[in-house]
Amino acid sequence: MYSLAVSDHVMVAHSFVGEVFGPAQQLHGATYAVEMEVRRAQLDGNGLVCDISLALQALKSVLGEINYRNLDEVAEFRGRNTTTEFLAGEIFRRLKARIAAGALGPGTAGALAAMRVTVRESPVAWAAFDAALG
């Protein structure tokens, strides 16, 4: 399986509900490094998994929707703990929709087998969501 990955970062504010979160129950800021990795069994006619610039553009577009936002105030996140794990799944969902709509170029969506989104909250801790596309 071939893979291609791109990365960017996002800065957010949020708080958590639940004793398990200790001081993170208070409003705090976070900067996450986010990686998008797409995989396919065979390279395209140009020897690519997909156009790297289109992949980066798709990631930046999705992250732009939450960058510099207080996630506690984002309507679709109300009542949810926007944990690193949650964000990995949400970013995956949004990227998957863009890929299906052709954001990575004509014919690419059908050729991609899977995608993994990794959200790194620090150099020593991260979460990911990985699933098939298609």
How does pLDDT run across 71-122, given as a tens digit for each residue?
A: 999 999 999 999 999 999 999 999 999 999 999 999 899 999 999 999 999 9
Domain ranges of the chain: 2-132
2-132 to CATH, choices 3.40.190.120, 3.20.20.120, 3.30.479.10, 1.25.40.10? 3.30.479.10
How many Cβ atoms sit within 10 Å of the Cβ of residue 117? 25
> pTM for this one?
0.95
**pLDDT surpassing 90 at residue 134:** no
**pLDDT surpassing 90 at residue 8:** yes
C-alpha distances out from residue 46 to 50, 98, 132, 134, Å = 9, 22, 23, 22
Q: How confident is the model at residue 29 (pLDDT cuts 50, 70, 90)?
A: very high
In the sheet with 69-70, reading across from the earlier edge strand, the strands are: 69-70, 2-14, 28-40, 114-122, 125-132
Element holding 55 (H helix, E strand):
helix 52-64
Kindly calculate the radius of gyration of the chain based on its CA atoms and give it in whole angstroms.
Answer: 16
